[in-house]
Amino acid sequence: MHQKGRLCWISAAVLALVIAAAANDGTNSQPSVVAHPGAAATKTTALEADISRLAGLSGGTVGVAAWRLDGRGPRVLINGAERFPMASTFKIAVAGAILAAVDTGRLKLDQMVSVDPMVMVESEPIADRFIHPGVSLSVYNLLEVMLTASDNTATDVLTALAGGPQAVSEWVRRQGIQGQRIDRDTAGIIRDYFHLPPGPFPEAMAAARKADPQLDEKEKHPNPAFDEDPRDTSTPEAMAQLLTVIFNGGALSKSSTQILVDIMERCRNGQDLLKGRLPAGTVVADKTGTIGGTVNDVGVITLPDEVGKVVVAVFVKRSDLPEAQRERSIAEIARSIRDYYLFASDFSSTTTR
């Protein structure tokens, strides 16, 4: 539900009282909360309590990292140092590694890349639409569908072009990011999740479905072994740090940074996630990720009237509730974070909304 034209003159103190009251509605959810020293603790305690309450809607373990992109004001961390399966949010790192190769001249955006039918991984649009041999796409178009439609085939082609998962992980580490690792491409992740037989991915998936007609149902439920696997995981804090470095221009050239930001702002997935409770027209650059008991959305929310931008990473794991309910939890958390950073008077202007 979107709300437009709300007239709000809210001081940080009033906002804290409103959120604190909401936090006492009897809902039980108590993820660990990172303490903040000094005055910052007073400013964020009510928000963290509200996020803890809203996390209960997910039915799983929730991790959150949020702060203003310009560094002003306190940071909000809920289970910020705990590892979560990234699912498709790792595609941000793949895009970063590819654009870094464009910056050095090793790759070109208009460079055409052949897509072998045997490396296609289910998802739209490539594997679902281009069913005949003879597919070639430019690096730029592969980036576009990887990030806006979360295309798995594009991701794996680009991951290989970047030098493989380890090369992507190394690029992340060069940005000074700890707590995030990329170990497999999407085919590798899905193979391990479903315990697929060897062979080309399309054939392996078809054989697994024939052997187990309930295979696809398994993707809707948590997989304990997958949730505990350290591979292809990130802490919420590490993901938010990566977004900060990228969006502040510290990871790529100015032109490549803008390309990545623009593509992420065109993301078609996740309309009910970070964007789900934000006012209509709010600019959000994000990337979603879903598998099993995991639903994630990470990105940057632009506040109105050039007040600033907020980095937000929200991860959910081990949830067996319907996906829509997990998504609602993320949407509500994003709205609380957005309003806090918009109206907290000590580091942001209070204006009419």
Residue 36 pLDDT exceeds 90 = no
Do residues 58 and 324 make contact, with C-beta atoms less than 8 angstroms apart? no
Residue 101 has pLDDT above 90, yes or no: yes
Which residues, including other chains, have CB under 8 Å from residue 238's CB and lie 6 or more apart?
Answer: 177, 178, 179, 180
pLDDT confidence bin for 10, thresholds 50/70/90: very low
When comparing pLDDT for 21 and 58, which is higher? 58
Mean pLDDT is lowest, of 61-70, 74-83, 230-239, 336-345, for 336-345
Backbone φ and ψ for 294, nearest 5 degrees, come out as -105, 130
What pLDDT is attached to residue 343? 86
* CA distance linking residue 128 with residue 144, whole number of Å: 16
Query: Does residue 23 have a pLDDT over 90?
Result: no
Q: What is the pLDDT of residue 346?
A: 56
* Residue 203, pLDDT score: 92
Range in 27-36, 209-218, 252-261 the model is least confident about: 27-36
Q: What is the pLDDT of residue 350?
A: 36
Q: By the 8 A CB rule, do 267 and 325 touch?
A: no
- Topology of domain 1-353, CATH: Beta-lactamase (3.40.710)
What strand order describes the sheet that includes 76-78? Answer: 76-78, 61-68, 309-317, 294-302, 284-291
Contact 62, 31 (CB under 8 A): yes
Could you give phi then psi for residue 231, rounded to 5 degrees? -70, 145
Per-residue pLDDT at 198: 87
Residue 87 pLDDT exceeds 90? yes
Region 215-223: what's the mean pLDDT? 90
pLDDT, tens only, 111-120: 999 999 999 9
Please state the three-class secondary structure of the chain as a single string: CCCCCCCCCCCHHHHHHHHHHHHCCCCCCCCCECCCCCHHHHHHHHHHHHHHHHHHHHCCEEEEEEEECCCCCCCEEECCCCCEECHHHHHHHHHHHHHHHHHHCCCCCCCEEEECHHHCCCCCCHHHHCCCCCEEEEHHHHHHHHHHCCCHHHHHHHHHHHCCHHHHHHHHHHCCCCCECCCCCHHHHHHHHHCCCCCCHHHHHHHHHHHCCCHHHHCCCCCHHHHHCCCCEECHHHHHHHHHHHHCCCCCCHHHHHHHHHHHHCCCCCCCCCCCCCCCCCCEEEEEEEECCEEEEEEEEECHHHCCEEEEEEEEECCCCCHHHHHHHHHHHHHHHHHHHHHCCCCCCCCCC
User: Would you say residue 344 has pLDDT above 80?
Assistant: no
pLDDT-derived band at 28 (thresholds 50, 70, 90) equals: very low
Could you report the per-residue pLDDT of 44-57, keeping only the tens digit for each?
788 989 999 999 99
Instruction: Specify the pLDDT at position 43.
Output: 57
Question: 161 CB contacts (<8 Å, ≥6 apart)?
Answer: 98, 101, 107, 113, 139
Quick: pLDDT tens for 154-167.
Answer: 999 999 999 999 99
Among left, alpha and beta (phi > 0; psi -120 to 50; other), residue 131 is alpha
pLDDT in the model for residue 305:
85
The pLDDT value recorded for residue 58 is 97
Within 10 angstroms of residue 7's Cβ, the number of other Cβ atoms is: 6
pLDDT per position as a tens digit, 246-302: 999 999 999 999 999 999 999 999 999 999 999 999 999 999 999 999 999 999 999
Q: For the chain, what percent of residues have pLDDT higher than 70?
A: 85
- pTM for this structure? 0.86
Percent of the chain topping pLDDT 90: 79
Least confident of 210-219, 240-249, 306-315: 210-219
Is the predicted pLDDT of residue 40 greater than 90, yes or no?
A: no
Task: Name the residue ranges covered by the structural domains of the chain.
Answer: 1-353
pLDDT tens column, 175-187: 999 999 999 999 9
Confidence of residue 103 (pLDDT cuts 50, 70, 90): very high
Phi, psi of 23 (to 5 degrees): -70, -15
Band of the pLDDT at 26, cuts 50, 70, 90?
very low
